[in-house]
A and B are shown apart, each in its own frame.
Chain A
Amino acid sequence: EVQLLESGGGFLQPGGSLRLSCAASGFTFNIYAMTWVRQAPGKGLDWVSTISGDAGTTFYADSVKGRFTISRDNSKDTLYLQMNSLRAEDTAVYYCAKALKVKQERSGWDSWGLGTLVTVSS
């Protein structure tokens, strides 16, 4: 059974930094792209960033480019999101999700974690 468990969320002030982790199990981690999607309180889903299985390719939403860095450690089956220069508008539940297809990230995301809450406020 695929399991994704996010951690690292918390409360911090604008301008701060935080690193989220997503521990994966139940599948061959290094052959699937992974993504981060966030959801502000009471709002819709918002794509943040995606990384290929081999970590060779990364994609970022314009709203986080230059501030967030996605990475993965395939030896630990763990996905990361380093978030710097945080803003109030980054406040959201952050979900990690697994790509549906092997070595192809465009088709959809078939397994999701329960999310971790990041609150940015002064």
Chain B
Amino acid sequence: QSALTQPASVSGSPGQSITISCTGTNSDVGSDNFVSWYQQHPNKDPKLLIYEGTKRPSGASNRFSGSKSGNMASLTISGLQPEDEAIYYCCSYGTYSHWVFGGGTKLTVL
């Protein structure tokens, strides 16, 4: 299974909104609604931001939102804050009973 495709980097200024894309195939992102998104700060463990494509777990900020269309999922961060600077990973459960992560997107808050 190939990794999901994410842009290597995105950037935005404080207060702005940015969107990170995550492209897969009919066998993973497009097969069902089990896309999740994680935030990882340097030398820290990942934190779940979005699950099942669009849902936020308890404790996740409502500035994070998820969506999906076909084989592409997206994470939008609104009202960018300096602490949002991190690497973001998408992950999808696939029809072959595997999970696959994206390569990660480094967000820089200018």
Q: Is the CB of B38 within 8 A of A45?
A: yes
Q: Per DSSP, are chain B's interface residues mostly helix, strand or loop, or mixed?
A: strand
Residues A114 and B57 in contact in the complex (CB < 8 Å), given A45-B104, A107-B34, A109-B36:
no
Shortest B21–chain A CB gap in Å is 16
Residues A47 and B52 in contact in the complex (CB < 8 Å), given A61-B98, A110-B57:
no
Interface size class of A (residues with CB under 8 A): 20 to 34
Give the chain B neighbours of A26 by CB distance below 8 A: none
Q: How far is the CA of A42 from the CA of B52 in the complex (A)?
A: 28
Give the chain A neighbours of B100 by CB distance below 8 A: 47
Asked if A31 is at the interface of the complex by the 8 Å CB criterion, the answer is no
The number of inter-chain residue pairs (CB within 8 angstroms) is 64
Number of interface residues of B (CB under 8 A): 27
Q: Is the CB of B45 within 8 A of A95?
A: yes
Q: Is the CB of B34 within 8 A of A47?
A: no
Q: Is the CB of A59 within 8 A of B104?
A: no
Complex interface bits, B25-62 against A, C-beta within 8 A gives 1, otherwise 0: 00000001010101010000111101110000100000
Q: Is the CB of B52 within 8 A of A45?
A: no
Give the chain B neighbours of A10 by CB distance below 8 A: none
Give the chain B neighbours of A37 by CB distance below 8 A: 46, 101
Asked if A115 is at the interface of the complex by the 8 Å CB criterion, the answer is yes
Q: Is the CB of A112 within 8 A of B103?
A: no
Listed in ascending order, the chain B residues whose CB lies under 8 Å from chain A are 1, 3, 32, 34, 36, 38, 40, 45-48, 50-52, 57, 87, 89, 91, 93, 97-104
Listed in ascending order, the chain A residues whose CB lies under 8 Å from chain B are 35, 37, 44-47, 50, 59, 61-62, 95, 97, 100, 106-110, 112-115
In the assembled complex, 8 residue pairs joining A and B whose CB atoms fall closer than 8 Å, in A order, are: A44-B89, A45-B40, A47-B91, A62-B98, A97-B46, A109-B38, A109-B48, A110-B51
